[in-house]
Amino acid sequence: MENKDRRFRTLDTVYILMMILPIVCGIVLKILTNPVSDGIAISGANVFFTINMPIQDLPITESQVNSWLVMISITGLCLFLTHGIKEKADTKRQHIAEWIVEKVEGLVTGNMGEYFSGFAPFVTAILALSAFSSLLALFGLYAPTSDLNIAAGWAILVFVLITYYKFKCGPVQYMKSFAEPVKFIAPLNVISEFATPVSMAFRHYGNVLSGSVISVLIASGLQGLSAIILGWLPGFIGEFPLFQIGIPAVLSIYFDVFSGCLQAYIFATLTMLYVSGGFPADEYFRRKSAKKQTV
């Protein structure tokens, strides 16, 4: 029994380290590779190295590395919450895990219907990956959601899912859908089809990036304001950034925490609505029912 408890605690420690160490490694990597700059520095993701490829070289950037760090941390969190799970919840972590599952399943069922109830793990992954990626900014790390390539990759994946479910009734029905509700708007429907992943990517990336830029600009402005008001005082008092105390932290709570989580929720909601909205449910179930009667 003692060995079992020791093994349980050891695994708990491993899972906790899986949550913490990736963030620590990211901070250390940021310190070692980020060049020192004076004043405001607003730039894209740092490129660590480039892999030579036959068609186009593959740069390994800060966004990719931080995305993997977030995924490792999320994996550790999931393993920790589900470690020692029982049929009847008797621990706080299991109650939290069950609460998350119930809320996401209710969200998926409410937005997509019972047919898509199996989408709950996918939607949970989108919510967690997007929210935790944005929250990296709290640790001074580059948020992967601030990179258009990352948001575009997610949007393309969602677009593939949308197209897959639109094809559920065959290619003919898919082509007919472009002529609905009237035939003459078919060109607009085609444009709308390909505009969906573009709008999802730019909406998510733009909102997160703009928050980061605004925070940096305001923090720099407050530093300048402190210098103007206190600069005439002697010694370190004249260099003390008085107005940078507290205000940037409040802005960070909004832009990094609230806005980041809000954008994750919006992206997940749009995913559910686009996938379920593109699925020709009535025609699919009609054909399925007719096939059963024929058999």
Integer Cα distance of 12 and 14 in angstroms: 5
Which pLDDT does position 91 carry in this prediction?
85
Q: Are 134 and 256 in contact (CB under 8 A)?
A: yes
The phi and psi torsions of 50 (rounded to 5 degrees) equal -125, 135
Which pLDDT does position 161 carry in this prediction?
92
Residues 226-238, mean pLDDT to the nearest whole number:
64
DSSP string, 265-285: HHHHHHHHHHHHHHS-HHHHH
Q: Are 112 and 275 in contact (CB under 8 A)?
A: yes
pTM of this prediction exceeds 0.75? yes
Of 253 and 128, the structure prediction assigns the larger pLDDT to: 128
The phi and psi torsions of 45 (rounded to 5 degrees) equal -65, 140
Q: Are 74 and 128 in contact (CB under 8 A)?
A: yes
Integer Cα distance of 194 and 171 in angstroms: 17
Give residue for tokens 């399943």. Answer: 105
The answer on pLDDT for 78 being more than 90 is yes
Which pLDDT does position 159 carry in this prediction?
92
Q: Are 197 and 238 in contact (CB under 8 A)?
A: no
Q: Is 31 helix (H, G, I), strand (E, B) or coil?
A: helix
Computed over every residue of the chain, the mean pLDDT equals: 83
pLDDT tens-digit readout, 254-291 = 777 788 888 899 999 999 999 988 888 888 888 788 87
> Lowest mean pLDDT: which of 22-26, 105-109, 250-254?
250-254
Q: Are 80 and 12 in contact (CB under 8 A)?
A: yes
Integer Cα distance of 60 and 57 in angstroms: 10
Q: Are 139 and 127 in contact (CB under 8 A)?
A: no
